[in-house]
Amino acid sequence: MDEKKNALALVEGKKGLLKDKHLTLITFYLGDFIFGIPAEKVVEINKDLEITPVPLADEFILGIMNLRGHIVTVMDLQKKIKLQGDLNYRLNLIIKKDNELLSFLVEKIGDIMEVPVAKLEETPDRIEGLDRDYIENIYQLPDRLLLLLNVNKLFEN
């Protein structure tokens, strides 16, 4: 994890220079997909945090957890974006928007990527296996597609 943090710090430093042209993305794996999320939105990546269920909550909400005294909502991203397949969650990816924390479980964290903004493409009308509304853009990696998660949409009710 420390490595991750260092890497993040490094990226933070670089960001200033590349800001205009590049987007720093943290990538992660869920099922057959690789997703990207802007690095500045990510608070931290964490393991084994206990989730307290919240009865009567929407089905895409797993519950809440304690992140050093802050209450974090834990979302079942698979249900939220209607991703199909059996997943093996291992890590909490915690993101932040307007002081509100949201965590979702991912299977594996990938590389941190610098993506030229100009190379981002429109999301196609249909993506097999998930709800395309939650994908902001796509980016063509050499071997596969990177899906940029629409964070604002996740925070919508």
Partner 1 sequence: MNLDEEILKDFLVEAKEGISKLEEEFVELEKDPENVEILKSLFRTMHSLKGASGFFGFKSLESIAHFSEDILAKLRDGLLKPEPEIIDMLLQAVDQIKYIVAHLEEHKQEPIDDRVLEFIVSLSNFTEKLKKRIEGKEEKKEPEEPKIEKIEAEKTAEEKPEHEFIKEEAKEEIKEEAPEVVATPVKEVEKEEKPKDKPQDTSAVLPTKELTETHVKVDVHLLDQLMNLAGELVLARNRVVQLASKFHDADLQRSVQTLSMVTSELQEAIMKTRMQPIGTVFNKFPRIVRDLSRQLGKKVNLKLEGTETELDRSIIEAIKDPLTHLVRNSIDHGIEPPEERVSLGKPEEGLLVMRAYHEGGQVVIEIEDDGRGIDVEKVKRKAIEKGLLDPREAERMSEKEILSFIFKPGFSTAEKVTQVSGRGVGMDVVKTNIEKLGGTIELNTMKGKGTTVRIKIPLTLAIVPALIVTSQGQRFAIPQVSLRELVAINPEKDLLKIGNTDFYRLRGEIIPVLSLSKVLNRPQQSQEKNLVILNAGDRFFGLLVDQIYDSEEIVVKPLGRWFKNIPLYSGATIMGDGKLALILDIVGLMKMLGVALEELEKGLAEEKVLTIEETQFILIFEVGKDNFAVPLAVISRLDKVNSDQITTIGGKEVLLYKGKVIPILRLENYLPISYPEYGEEISVLFFTEREKTVGIICSRIVDTLETTLEVDTTIYQQPGIIGHRIIHDRTVLFLDIFKIIEMFDPEWFVVKRKEEEIIEEPVRILLAEDSPFFQNLIKNYLIQAGFEVDVAENGKVALEKLMQNPEQYSLLITDIEMPVMDGFTLVAEVRKTPQFANLPILVQTSLAGEDIKKKVMELGANAYQVKLDREKVLTTINELLETSKQRISHA
Q: Smaller CB distance to partner 1: residue 146 or 154?
A: 154
Q: Smaller CB distance to partner 1: residue 23 or 149?
A: 149
Q: Which of 50, 86, 122, 125 binds partner 1 (CB under 8 A)?
A: 50
Query: Which long-range CB contacts under 8 A does 64-73 form with residues at least 24 apart?
Result: 65/92, 65/103, 67/94, 67/101, 67/103, 70/101, 71/101, 72/101, 72/102, 72/103, 73/100, 73/101, 73/102, 73/103
Q: Which of 66, 84, 140, 152 binds partner 1 (CB under 8 A)?
A: 66
Closest separation in Å from C-beta 14 to partner 1:
29
Question: Residues 66, 1: contact at Cβ < 8 Å?
Answer: no
Q: Smaller CB distance to partner 1: residue 69 or 142?
A: 69
Residues that bind partner 1 (CB under 8 A): 50, 52-58, 61, 64-66, 68-73, 75, 100-102, 155, 157
